[in-house]
Amino acid sequence: MSHLPSAFQIAVQDCIDAERNADRGSVRARNDRSFDSRAHFFAGWCIRNELSEHDLQKLDDAGCIFVLGTYLRDVKQGDNKQKKADLMADTLCAYLSTAHKYLQHRLGQSINVMDPTYGGKQNRYHPFLYQQIHDCGCWQQKHERYAPFTMEIFLALQRWLAGEPDPTATFLGKTHSVYDWTRLGNFIGFRASEYSQGDLGRGELFNKIPNKHFFDKNYVLIPYKHLITRYKRGDVVWLELRWKHDKSSFNFVKKRFKITGHPIYCPWSFGTARFARNPKDQLHTTTHQSHTKKESLTEETRRQAPVGYR
């Protein structure tokens, strides 16, 4: 790029720096940290096995395959960051892929570690590498997986909570709170990491929770201080959840749910539990709303309501 004008070189470098420093979210950041950590681990493995920089520079494709195969064997036997000998096949592939990219970076050239005789639609690693991963996937005992929630699970939890000797203490306790938040996540179809907005920031003790707003059948906002009274009169019809989906202060996700009266999946019960457990939060919200004008959803928002709820 040295033959290009200096002004254009500066512009290109600025573009490269912006791309490197761009915020791509917490998932991409965790993946980058995992890659860097495994790359450092492979570099340390080379040093422990007396593979110097000079030795690596003399490797051809076949030599790189033998180095990667030996590294993969050691990783399988427990010489890895987790210090475990039962890593899943996907984890072994991640270690192998990182080491492969590390060698390509150090040698400054592309290294072919694929099977030249394989006739499938997708490329496959050289048999010396592929067989080690394949054997691990075939013979390894699968880890336990999370089972999906069922109605029987929530009914059993409801009966267990209702049978506690002190209903008030149970409702204000952590167990009932977790029960309510689990129902909320299951009802709206989002995992806790999504509707709680991901990882905790520096100095934060709790995840952020979505804002809850209740509306009547005419889509008029109901103040929290009138919520219980209006609900007894049958005026509360809609629950709206709002939360940010990125770092911008203007991008919000809105989800609306109709009050169903279901014993488990009714948004009224877990929507009001937060304010019943924390009167200070309710007082703060009520005071804040007393200075705002009555809010009404627009016709466009009304048209976006789920089918059957309009």
Task: Return d(Cα 300, Cα 220) in angstroms, integer.
Answer: 14
Tell me, what's the pLDDT at 309?
Answer: 30
Task: Judge whether residue 23 has pLDDT over 50.
Answer: yes
Tell me, what's the pLDDT at 297?
Answer: 36
Task: Judge whether residue 74 has pLDDT over 90.
Answer: yes
Contacts with 286 (C-beta within 8 Å, 6 or more apart), sequence order? 223, 224, 225
Least confident residue range of 45-54, 71-80, 240-249:
240-249
Task: Judge whether residue 126 has pLDDT over 70.
Answer: yes
Tell me, what's the pLDDT at 303?
Answer: 39
pTM more than 0.75: no
Task: Judge whether residue 171 has pLDDT over 60.
Answer: yes
Task: Judge whether residue 93 has pLDDT over 90.
Answer: yes
Task: Judge whether residue 148 has pLDDT over 80.
Answer: no
HEC letters along the chain: CCCCCHHHHHHHHHHHHHHHHCCCCHHHHHHHHHHHHHHHHHHHHHHHCCCCHHHHHCCCHHHHHHHHHHHHHHHHCCCCCCCCCCCCHHHHHHHHHHHHHHHHHHHCCCCCCECCCCCCCCCCECHHHHHHHHHHHHHCCCCCCCCCCCHHHHHHHHHHHHCCCCHHHHHHCHHHHHHHHHHHHHHHCCCHHHHCCCCCCCCCCCCCCCEEEEECCCCEEECHHHHHHHHHCCCCCEEEEEEECCCCCCCEEEEEEECCCCCCCCHHHHHHHHHHHCHHHHHHHHHHHCCCCCCECCHHHHHCCCCCCC
Tell me, what's the pLDDT at 69?
Answer: 94
Q: For residues 135-142, give the mean pLDDT.
A: 65
Highest mean pLDDT: which range of 70-74, 174-178, 192-196, 263-267 = 70-74
Query: Burial, 63: exposed, middle or buried (Cβ in 10 Å; 0-12, 13-18, 19+)?
Result: middle
pLDDT band at 258 (very low <50, low <70, confident <90, very high): confident
Q: What is the mean pLDDT of the chain?
A: 77
- Do 215 and 222 meet the contact criterion of CB atoms below 8 Å apart? yes
Tell me, what's the pLDDT at 286?
Answer: 35
Tell me, what's the pLDDT at 210?
Answer: 66
Tell me, what's the pLDDT at 175?
Answer: 86
Counting residues of the chain whose pLDDT is more than 90, the rounded percentage is 26
pLDDT band at 102 (very low <50, low <70, confident <90, very high): very high
Task: Judge whether residue 291 has pLDDT over 90.
Answer: no
Counting residues of the chain whose pLDDT is more than 70, the rounded percentage is 73
Q: Which residue did the predictor score with more confidence, 280 or 199? A: 199
pLDDT band at 287 (very low <50, low <70, confident <90, very high): very low
Q: For residues 52-58, give the mean pLDDT.
A: 91
Task: Judge whether residue 225 has pLDDT over 60.
Answer: yes
Task: Judge whether residue 306 has pLDDT over 50.
Answer: no
Q: For residues 162-180, give the mean pLDDT.
A: 85
Q: Which residue did the predictor score with more confidence, 236 or 147? A: 236
- Do 168 and 108 meet the contact criterion of CB atoms below 8 Å apart? no
Least confident residue range of 217-221, 223-227, 306-310:
306-310
